[in-house]
């Protein structure tokens, strides 16, 4: 007979360690933050070891917490996979995909009509969030995540993006190449990155590689969210430095134009799936389709200048 601590306490610890937050763990498990804290303290009392260091609202795993967390995380993933393998499908044959709001809205959704046409019997649920959803443990079959390519296995990478400057066609000169000085009356648009681990491409780097009046200062208008900055650019509030993957449709339609200047290296969109989900034919079909769309995006002629150039 296995000698285990109370499973509610173990589950509370695993969720808090995965999110590095008692609040996020409480939201996931639909309990209060106080309940999570109580469960973790109960587990610490049973083990006779501290699992977290607490400093105000921040929680950091101790050495003992770091030692036990990966084993518990993998154990919960295996349990989730075991039940997913025998659980009947919901909504016919459904797939839940987690990704950022910007990628879902600007790259994935414009292409989903082609998937629906090819696989009309499959239902795709989109979980658009900046939080990291764990495939298998959070009801997610597949995640598209954004980060450094060197931190992902080669087979998991869909494509890498580049950062280009774009502006609404309505505020651009009608003909010829489009230079940043053509929009000197507009503020540059920028958004605040949520992922502190990534160094966002900056206007200063783009301007250093572009042909512009060096004696002119540029104002920057900041937005708290990436989708807000994209919408602001489309509405003509100014030029925006952004991922080419997120403005591909607008460049091809002509509602946005690319400014003459460099394309800065970006990051990689990569796939993460749950082991049990990866064996389902519906998920395999979606992954194959997604890889095909990614290959088509990267091999299609790119908008390297304004449409009229």
pTM above 0.85, yes or no: no
Note down pLDDT in tens along the chain; length 309 residues: 678 889 999 999 999 998 888 888 888 888 898 999 999 999 999 999 999 998 766 788 999 999 999 999 888 888 877 776 676 554 447 889 999 999 999 999 999 999 999 998 898 999 998 887 777 777 788 899 888 776 555 568 899 999 999 999 998 888 777 888 888 888 999 998 877 667 788 999 999 888 877 767 789 999 999 999 999 999 999 999 999 999 999 999 999 999 999 999 999 998 887 777 767 888 889 999 999 999 998 887 654 443 333
- In tens, the pLDDT along 32-70 reads 989 999 999 999 999 999 999 987 667 889 999 999 999
Look at residue 307 and give its three-state secondary structure: coil
């Amino acid at each position: 007979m296995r000698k285990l601590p109370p499973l509610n306490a173990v589950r509370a610890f695993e969720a808090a360690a995965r999110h590095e937050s008692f609040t996020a763990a409480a939201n996931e498990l639909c309990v209060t933050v106080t309940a999570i804290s109580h469960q973790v303290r109960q587990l610490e009392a049973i083990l006779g070891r501290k699992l977290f260091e607490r400093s105000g609202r921040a929680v950091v795993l101790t050495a003992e917490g770091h030692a036990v967390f990966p084993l518990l995380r993998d154990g919960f993933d295996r349990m989730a996979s075991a039940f997913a393998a025998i659980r009947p499908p919901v909504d016919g044959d459904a797939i839940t995909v987690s990704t950022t709001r910007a990628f879902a809205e600007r790259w994935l959704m414009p292409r989903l009509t082609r998937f629906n046409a090819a696989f009309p019997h499959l239902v795709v649920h989109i979980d658009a969030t900046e939080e990291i959803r764990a495939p298998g443990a959070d009801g997610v079959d597949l995640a598209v995540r954004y980060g450094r390519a060197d931190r992902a296995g080669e087979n998991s990478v869909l494509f890498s993006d580049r950062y280009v400057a774009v502006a609404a066609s309505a505020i651009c000169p009608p003909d010829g190449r489009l230079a940043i000085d053509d929009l000197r009356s507009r503020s540059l648009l920028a958004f605040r990155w949520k992922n502190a681990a990534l160094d966002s491409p900056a206007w200063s780097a783009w301007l250093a590689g572009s042909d512009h009046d060096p004696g002119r200062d540029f104002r920057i208008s900041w937005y708290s969210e990436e989708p807000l900055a994209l919408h602001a650019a489309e509405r003509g509030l100014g030029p925006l430095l952004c991922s080419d993957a997120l403005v591909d449709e607008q460049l091809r339609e002509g509602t946005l134009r690319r400014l003459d200047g460099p394309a800065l290296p970006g990051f990689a969109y990569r796939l993460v799936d749950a082991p049990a989900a990866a064996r389902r034919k519906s998920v395999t079909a979606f992954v194959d389709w997604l890889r095909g769309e990614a290959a088509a995006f990267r091999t299609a002629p790119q908008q390297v200048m304004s449409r009229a150039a």
